[in-house]
């Protein structure tokens, strides 16, 4: 497998984890590249030497870079980006800031992540809004024509997932965005599984709000998330909590900060924020135009391999599919399969029903084994995974890696 402008040798040399494990859990957390490890380690050592506040003063440029790097990644302005401690926090803050009232209609995709779905159900209980799940087509994608037919003046928010956490499909977020923008409906996109994996351009998507996280395909640290807030809508959003970085003091009072910064608080994990900026810059140095086609080809080839394995059923859907593959093994619990793969030095993950409760219940699924590759994975690693999975499917036990 060859890719123009891509060096697998460089990618793996920059990724120390590949020397220890076959990592196919990138939809959970990618292996950090060495520049991210070095930047975060250096800052923690600086904090130990001079103190955390003083270290932050010395590293002000590196800490601030996270906003600019994410803005480049998403094709927006730095003041349209807020950095938070998780994507769940960012998504919840965004949802809670949208002015909704009893009787308003909120349209959501059926593949919403479990935490997001819980927040939506809580919104129904608190405000009395109407929560409606968007219909899908025969490929599992949100049906844009059906969405258009259901829109009326009561629809105040559309929330959708770009790429689900348990499936390889890619939803038509730009087409939905065009409908929302034409009717002045607030549009929130969960891009946690797509940022770092495929190009995500907020101008193309046409969203008002977009959430992403650092630890997955961006290969950044845990405890980092970000929120894009379109400049024109920011002044109409009221965050549920504010902090010193989210306000501007006036004479005897305060006003919310302009743009996305109104969602930020003063306290932050400086090392993690530095690591996020370095991780995004690292992804940009490769270019999504280089890494995304490679990911697509690798995932397509792996799906073909898995489809030929006895007892293995590939469950993911879509027209254009990405790095995450949901599958099941006949007669084997997903957690058992994951455990045996881990014994063999191969990382995967199990998606339970509560991770995407509406979709999985509708499809009669209680669990899936999720396999999610990245551009630094080698063909040999994917062959090793396939052969190990085949052995498990037919009742053989693979060699344990110690």
- Euclidean distance between CA atoms 265 and 225, whole angstroms: 13
CATH fold of 8-32+287-393: 3.90.1150
Instruction: Say how far apart CA 338 and CA 349 lie, in whole Å.
Output: 6
Mean pLDDT within 94-100: 94
Mean model confidence pLDDT for the chain: 93
Q: Which residues contact 49 (CB under 8 A, 6 or more apart)?
A: 55
Q: Confirm if 190 and 91 have CB atoms less than 8 A apart.
A: yes
Taking a C-beta distance cutoff of 8 angstroms, is the pair 84, 262 a contact? no
DSSP annotation of 377? -
Q: Has residue 316 got a pLDDT over 60?
A: yes
pLDDT of residue 253: 81
Cα–Cα distance list, 25 to 9, 135, 292, 342 (Å): 21, 29, 17, 11
Residue 281, pLDDT score: 98
pLDDT of 363 reads 87
Buried residues in 18-34 as b, exposed as e (16+ CB within 10 A): beeebbbbbbbbbbbbe
Lowest mean pLDDT among 188-197, 209-218, 233-242, 302-311: 233-242
CB count in 10 Å sphere of residue 146: 12
Angle at the Cα of 397 (from 391 to 401), degrees rounded to 5? 110
When pLDDT is averaged across residues 390-395 and rounded to a whole number, the result is 91
- Contacts by 180-187, CB closer than 8 A, 24 or more apart: 180/206, 180/207, 180/208, 181/206, 183/151, 183/155, 185/151, 185/155, 185/156, 185/157, 185/158, 186/98, 186/156, 186/157, 186/158, 186/233, 187/157, 187/158, 187/159, 187/160
**How far is it, in rounded angstroms, from Cα 37 to Cα 279?**
10
Strand pairing report for 346-347 and 22-23: parallel
| Among candidate residues 318, 349, 328, the one with its CA nearest the CA of residue 393 | 328
Q: Which residues contact 2 (CB under 8 A, 6 or more apart)?
A: none
For the chain, domain boundaries: 8-32+287-393, 36-285
Using one digit for the tens of pLDDT, what is the confidence trace for 250-307?
777 888 888 899 999 888 999 999 999 999 999 999 999 999 999 999 999 999 999 9
Query: What's the confidence (pLDDT) of residue 224?
Result: 97
pTM of the predicted protein model? 0.94
- Alpha carbon 317 to its chain's center: 18
How confident is the model at residue 4, as a pLDDT? 65
> Residue 249: what are its φ and ψ, rounded to 5°?
-70, 140
Confidence class for position 383, pLDDT limits 50, 70, 90: very high
CA distances from 185 to 103, 106, 209 (A): 15, 10, 11
Question: For 51-113, where are the alpha helices, taking DSSP H only?
Answer: 52-58, 60-74, 87-97
C-alpha span between 317 and 225 (Å, rounded): 27
**How confident is the model at residue 18, as a pLDDT?**
98
Is residue 400 scored above 70 in pLDDT? no
Percent of the chain at pLDDT above 70? 97
Report pLDDT for 1.
Answer: 43
According to the model, what pLDDT value does residue 399 have?
Answer: 59
pLDDT for 13-25, tens place per residue?
A: 999 999 999 999 9
Check: CB of residue 299 under 8 Å from CB of residue 292. no
- The H or E element that residue 248 is part of is strand 247-250
Q: Which of 164-178, 237-251, 314-328, 341-355 has the lowest mean pLDDT?
A: 237-251
CB contact at 8 A, 227 and 66? no
The predicted structure's pLDDT at residue 2: 47
Q: Which of 70-79, 156-165, 241-250 is predicted with the least confidence, judged by mean pLDDT?
A: 241-250
Mean pLDDT of the 115-137 span: 90
CA distance 120 to 210: 16
Distance CA 165, CA 324 (A): 8
| CATH topology assigned to domain 36-285 | 3.40.640
Structure tokens at 210: 């977009």
Average pLDDT over residues 75-101: 95
Where is mean pLDDT largest: 114-118, 236-240, 276-280?
A: 276-280
Average pLDDT for residues 330-337, to the nearest whole number?
96
332 vs 313: CA distance, rounded Å: 12
Q: Is the pLDDT of residue 153 over 90?
A: yes
* Mean pLDDT for the stretch of residues 149-178: 96
Q: Is 2 exposed, middle or buried (0-12, 13-18, 19+ CB in 10 A)?
A: exposed
| pLDDT score for 71 | 98
């Amino acid at each position: 497998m060859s890719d123009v402008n891509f060096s697998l040798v460089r990618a793996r040399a920059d990724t120390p984890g590949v020397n220890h494990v076959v990592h196919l859990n990138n939809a959970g957390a990618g292996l950090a590249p060495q520049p991210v490890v070095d930047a975060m380690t250096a800052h923690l050592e600086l904090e130990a030497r001079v103190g955390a506040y003083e270290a932050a003063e010395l590293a002000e440029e590196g800490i601030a870079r996270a906003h600019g790097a994410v803005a480049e990644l998403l094709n927006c302005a730095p003041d349209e980006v807020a950095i938070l401690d998780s994507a769940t926090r960012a998504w919840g803050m965004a949802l809670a800031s949208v002015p909704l009232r009893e009787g308003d209609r909120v349209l959501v995709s059926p593949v919403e992540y479990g935490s997001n779905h819980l927040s939506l159900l809580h919104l129904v209980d608190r405000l009395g809004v109407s929560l409606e799940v968007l219909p899908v087509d025969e490929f599992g994608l949100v049906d844009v024509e059906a969405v258009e037919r259901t829109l009326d003046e009561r629809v105040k928010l559309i929330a959708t997932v770009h790429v689900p956490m348990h499936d390889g499909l890619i939803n038509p977020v730009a087409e939905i965005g065009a409908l929302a923008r034409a009717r002045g409906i607030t549009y929130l996109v969960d891009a946690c599984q797509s940022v770092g994996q495929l190009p995500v351009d907020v101008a193309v998507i046409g969203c008002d709000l977009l959430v992403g996280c650092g630890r997955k395909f961006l290969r950044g640290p845990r405890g980092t998330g970000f929120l894009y807030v379109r400049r024109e809508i920011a002044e109409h959003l009221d965050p549920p909590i504010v902090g010193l970085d989210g306000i501007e003091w006036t004479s005897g009072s305060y006003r919310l900060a302009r743009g996305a910064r109104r969602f930020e608080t003063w306290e932050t994990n400086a090392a993690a924020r530095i690591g996020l900026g370095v991780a995004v810059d690292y992804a940009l140095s490769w270019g999504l135009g280089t890494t995304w086609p490679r990911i697509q080809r690798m995932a397509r080839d792996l799906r073909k391999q898995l489809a030929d394995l006895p007892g293995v059923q590939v469950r993911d859907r879509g027209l254009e599919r990405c790095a995450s593959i949901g599958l099941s093994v006949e007669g084997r619990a997903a957690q058992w399969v994951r455990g045996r793969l881990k014994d063999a030095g191969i990382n995967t993950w199990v998606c339970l029903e509560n991770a995407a409760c509406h979709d999985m219940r509708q499809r009669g699924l209680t669990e899936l084994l999720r396999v999610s590759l990245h551009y630094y994975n080698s063909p040999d690693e994917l062959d090793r995974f396939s052969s190990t999975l085949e052995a498990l499917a037919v009742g053989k036990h693979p060699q344990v890696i110690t």
